[in-house]
């Protein structure tokens, strides 16, 4: 597997934001990702990894530039890893026709439709990227990992966690697309990427998956702004996920935040809570 090439490095809160580029065999194209390395730990200790998945139309840069998460990640000694949101540069017809599908909108699934066969962000995040990290960054402990995200990335974090509860110690989300089989964004993406089978759709729907998962001990944390226009447009449906969690006694902390919207201003306000939530789960897992 090709070794990642460092393309930028900036010091921040005693650590470093580093951006890398590599060729992804899973996706069939070059991909970029960021790692925030906190200040170095005494050898042989390694950093736990917290993956961030971004939302529609975003890249690997949005969270790193806008969230301010590095301050608390530095103090907690956790490495932040932020992949891109889709393959890029494949020149598939129609890939950039709309902001909510195709480029920048991989939905963290493995597409089954031939035209979109390279859209395999699920395998990239769950399988390829951790392998790249473990083989090339010896200071990272990829066996001690958690995952969170925003909007489409919140959907990705929840579904990836629920399908791989043995790989991640905890999950959280900001404004996640909780029930994509019942919203316009999800129906558009799933129809094109997965075809018409609703049973295939359910494999990437957190509200469906939570009813089949009995391995969750750490509560899932979700923050949702009450003034989020996409909440009122019926795209996010956190209440559906909450109902599903209650039906199987799955631990959930859903916090409705008055006055907040869907933006990174919202994320920056509460990101410290999320990182400390994951830090606790990661520390407990090492005891």
Residue for token pair 């090339």: 136
Q: How far apart are CA 185 and CA 23, in angstroms?
A: 29
What distance lies between CA 54 and its chain's CA centroid?
6
Catalytic residue among 146, 151, 170, 279: 151
Catalytic residue among 262, 274, 277, 278: 262
Task: List C-alpha distances in Å: 257 to 29, 166, 250.
Answer: 39, 30, 22
Q: How far apart are CA 96 and CA 109, in angstroms?
A: 18
Can you tell me whether residue 158 is helix, strand or coil?
helix
Catalytic residue among 141, 228, 274, 278: 228
Active site residue 151: yes
Q: Which residues of 213-244 are buried (b: 16+ CB within 10 A; e: fewer)?
A: eeebebbbbbbbbeebebbeeebbbbebbbeb
Active site residue 262: yes
Question: Which residues are known catalytic residues?
Answer: 151, 228, 262
């Amino acid at each position: 597997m090709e070794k990642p090439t460092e393309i930028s490095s900036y010091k921040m809160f005693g650590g470093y934001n580093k951006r890398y580029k590599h060729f992804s065999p899973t996706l069939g194209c070059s991909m970029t990702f960021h790692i925030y390395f906190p200040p170095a730990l005494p050898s042989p200790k390694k950093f736990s990894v917290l993956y961030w998945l971004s939302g529609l139309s975003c890249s690997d840069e949005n969270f790193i530039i806008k969230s301010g998460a590095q301050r608390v990640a530095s103090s907690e000694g956790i490495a932040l890893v932020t992949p891109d949101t889709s393959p890029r540069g494949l020149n598939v017809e129609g890939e950039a026709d709309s902001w909510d599908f195709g480029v920048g909108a991989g939905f963290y699934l493995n597409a089954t439709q031939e035209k979109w066969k390279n859209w395999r962000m699920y395998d990239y995040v769950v399988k390829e990227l951790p392998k790249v990290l473990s083989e090339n960054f010896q200071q990272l402990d990829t066996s001690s990992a958690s995952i969170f995200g925003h909007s489409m990335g919140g959907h990705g974090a929840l579904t990836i966690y629920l399908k791989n509860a043995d790989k991640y110690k905890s999950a959280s989300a900001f404004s996640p697309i909780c029930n994509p089989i019942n919203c316009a964004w999800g129906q558009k993406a799933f129809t094109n990427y997965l075809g018409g089978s609703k049973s295939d759709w359910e494999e990437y729907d957190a509200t469906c998956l939570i009813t089949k998962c009995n391995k969750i001990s750490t509560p899932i944390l979700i923050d949702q702004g009450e003034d989020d226009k996409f909440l009122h447009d019926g795209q996010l449906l956190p209440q559906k996920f909450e109902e599903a969690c209650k039906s199987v006694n799955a631990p959930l902390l859903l916090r409705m935040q008055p006055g907040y919207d869907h933006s990174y201003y919202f994320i920056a306000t509460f990101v410290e809570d999320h990182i400390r939530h994951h830090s606790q789960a990661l520390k407990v897992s090492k005891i």
